[in-house]
Structure 1
Amino acid sequence: MARPRAFEEDEVLDRAADVFGRHGYDGSTMVELTAAMGLNAPSIYAAFGSKRGLFDAVLRRCGAREDEHWAWALAAPTAEGVVKRLLTTSPEQASSRVLGHAGLVMGTENADIPAALLHRRQSAELKLRDRFEEAKRGGDLPAKADASRLASYVTAVHDGLAMKAAGGALPGELREAAGQAVAAWRAISDVAVAASIAAKGSPPADERSRDPRRFSADAALDAAMKVFWTKGFAGASLNDLTEAMGITRPSLYAAFGNKEALFFRALDLYQSLRKDDMAEALQAPTARGVFETLLRGSLRYQLDEGQPRGCLMVLNAMQGGDEARVIRDEILRRQAIGRELLAARFEQAKREGDLLPTVNVPGLVRFIQSLMHGILMQGAAGASPSELEGLVESGLAMWTASADLPTGKD
């Protein structure tokens, strides 16, 4: 008969979740885990079998909390109440961090985890679709509302808000983004028509795509960028980097300095490949055009077979611990610059009458970022091109339908 465990499992799993949430799976060492859990390595192996077994147990615990959150939200008496519960409240941050890391980055030996999380998300989305269908039958939603599109949209925004929470966004910032998303929901009676218009007005996917961007001629730096993109700063070991770059450690140090300096060079390269998208978005003639350009840019990169899915900046904004503090702070600084540029463009739209004077610009910007993060997260987890394209169309339909965003000019 197995001996009873000499520890409270829920408590030690919460401690392990904190470590995995700050460093990711690859970046968390058994030394850190044993110290946080207050157990020695033999006790952990006896209870969970391996580091992967421990991580699976943490994922199950985080997933159970997320399931409870969804069940509570789906039990709301109205469809709008469901949306409010999902978007304006969220599970605790540690769970968001663990699920965010697991959905965005896993080594080849753990490649099954993002796919499993995608399946969980799709199951939740189906339950949400069924809840909206029920609302249609009960007269709580108009009969013409597209329940599938609405469920896809709400799930993507929910995922994006969770990513922002995992990246350390403040509660007020999350409330602004969620409030804008719920405001769009209130235009629900026009969503089905708007979705049809958006679908008819959008060029085919192959016409929207561009020629793949050429990466830097420095193949070593390009390779390092992809390692940081898929493993994160904490999870990328020097062995991972030198092997991918095809150079020795002395050569790495001679050419780039230390690991941190190499990361910043890789980050500069990553942003240089995307700077034209932001410039194009800011130059769009309407606020809706800005929104559409950003969403289609996110989609295009998730469909590019020549590079990893997900987002290097979003992943590394979640990095925790003292080692990654400088990395995280610099990424958050750069993301703030992007928010300021978008906010200035939307304030211009308000002055020109392209957005209503009542629009909460900071909330609108954070809402757009949340939706983009949702697309990135689902792309990283393996969502199909049609699913990702549907997300973009749903987002555009929401904008078109919302009386609080565009004016007659758009």
Structure 2
Amino acid sequence: MTPSTPEAPDTGASADPVEFPIARSCPFSPPDAYAPMRERGTPTKVAVPGGKEAWLVTGFKDVRAALSHPASSSDARHPAFPALGDGEQAVAAELRPFIRMDPPDHTRVRRMLVGEFTVKRVREMRTAIEEICREQVEYLLSRPMPADLVGDYANRVSTTVICRLLGVPMEDLEFFRRITSVSGARTSTAEEVGAALADLFGLIDRLIDEKAQSPGDDLISRLVNGPLERGEITRHSLLSQIGITLNAGHETSRNMIPLAALDLLDNPDQLDLLREDPSLWPGAVDELLRHLSVADVITLRVATEDIPLEGATIPAGDGYIALLAAANHDPEAFPEPGRLDIARSQRNHVAFGYGVHQCVGQNLGRLEIEVALRVLFEKVPTLRPAVPVGDLPLRSSSAIFGLEEVPVSW
């Protein structure tokens, strides 16, 4: 994949591409290597798993340009698609979740979902989410110390919220945790991902039949008795779209809630501001999303035509990854980006991506994180980490960054 145009990116000093993904050294910061890449001003060539090469786009303006260009393709069937896991491309190419589609297919499927995640509809869910978070914080407090903020709170909150939205019965929390852990891990093979998703699709398939006969007030019921019944989507595609909605809705919040709680505990002056003035919570959530950027490497793309950036061009046919954490820590866009500042005026971060593929569930994600954190700190004011943050195991092999466990005391 050697660029042939004079405006192609500079590959850097080394002839050998950098190995990617790159691990974080601190859970609150992007990988250290991102800053020098961004300062160079042009995309960096990297070697991704499976023997492919791709470009990393790191600057804030370039990331937005690369994600909003009409030649930016998310189609996993493209040979140059820069998958970061052995099973990722094969499964996505077969199942075709809408996040791995291009318009007009992407537009058609997204339109079926977007009405469920409007500001108005999400606002109507606040009371239910508050009830869920209060129930789960009581469960956390019932556990022997140190309890696990991931398994005993965040996972339970995120799974319950997305399952209620979809209309999926909450019979086994660990079932959903296992499915998302396997399907979202870069170390999983295509066979392992396929087996995990087969279990999930088996559950959803049964629900489709049930809700066709007895619909409820939930997303699956509305999709089954709307687009599916009218022939606007196939059953196979519906399974895929429900599966990715459940996975994405679970994983992002499951990882953000404990990591954001630790970030606030690590910045007690910011937490004090929130305790003094709870009206600051919505802005604080946006700043935490920017600061942590857990979906950093989800934006895998292929350039179907040359894509011009400020200092270079991504050549047609090449794969690239627009790094959200690198963009959200660009000092030209966010002064002192490493500092958590809940009063920061800039709200134009790209934590939910950018362009036509910007996260369809971002309104729900913001509300869920806000309520989960606010209830947690109101009910457990003495919450503290039970081990040093530097000793916590990182989920570096997952599509969404997070922590494996967070032991806490109070």
Fold shared, TM-score > 0.5 on shorter chain: no
Compute the TM-score of the two structures, normalised by the length of structure 1: 0.35
More helix by share: 1
More strand by share: 2
Compute the TM-score of the two structures, normalised by the length of structure 2: 0.35
